[in-house]
Amino acid sequence: MRPLFFCLFSALATLPTVAVAVAAASLGGCSRAGAGVVAPVELAIGPVDAGAENADTGAAQKPEKKKTCTAQLMAGEIDTGPGCVLDERISHGPGKLMYPCEGDGAAQASFDDQVYDGKVVGNVLTLRLTTELDWEDGCRWQSEHMLGGRLIRGEAVEDDPVEPLQWRYEDRAISGRNCSGACLAQAEIEVVRNVGSDD
């Protein structure tokens, strides 16, 4: 025979959601033999509230798309060493700059078929481009192009005293023997005017 407190504990632990009457019935059957039959108790259990389950799983809001502004770029004279041939396109004509109208974000500039990628952080633009080509000296050359500076954003800037962006260039031979000399170059890039935004 199990002790009375053991039976009570077992009944309540195994059926925590059942009425006390059912637990008492289990107790009665445990305490002595020949106990009367206890009629089963019907319990009405409501369906799970699906709304409560999904209350905190609402559709995630899409982040607001930032407006992109566009400006025209014009390169000044390139300062480089004698006899240097550069793998550049800034001297081929106006370029195009795309950047976030407000705040930080990705930015891009293109001159002909060369595309510079980077970002704007705190109104400072930083763009880079890496190119490679096989030169007539039989060597393969790699060039690093850098474009950056303080970016003025807002209305048209063609009449404002805007500091030009700075362009830097450096190349080096990455394969081959008896390669020709490496070149350095620099230039100023004017932000001629704001073209518009992608409203």
In Å, what is the CA distance from 38 to each residue of 23, 27, 86?
11, 11, 99
Q: Which phi and psi angles does 99 have, rounded to 5°?
A: -155, 160
| pLDDT exceeds cutoff 70 at 40 | no
What residue spans define the domains of the chain? Answer: 4-41, 68-197
Kindly write down the DSSP assignment for every residue of 38-103, as one continuous string.
PPPPP---PPP-HHHHTTT-PPPPPPPPPPEEEEEEEE---EE-TT------GGGS-EEEEEESSS
Burial zone of 137 (CB within 10 Å; 0-12 exposed, 13-18 middle, 19+ buried): middle
The better pLDDT of the pair 33, 186 is held by: 186
pTM above 0.85, yes or no: no
Give the integer Cα–Cα distance in Å for 165 and 76.
Answer: 10
Q: What digits encode the pLDDT tens for the residues 65-120? A: 678 999 999 999 999 999 999 999 999 999 999 999 989 999 999 999 999 999 99
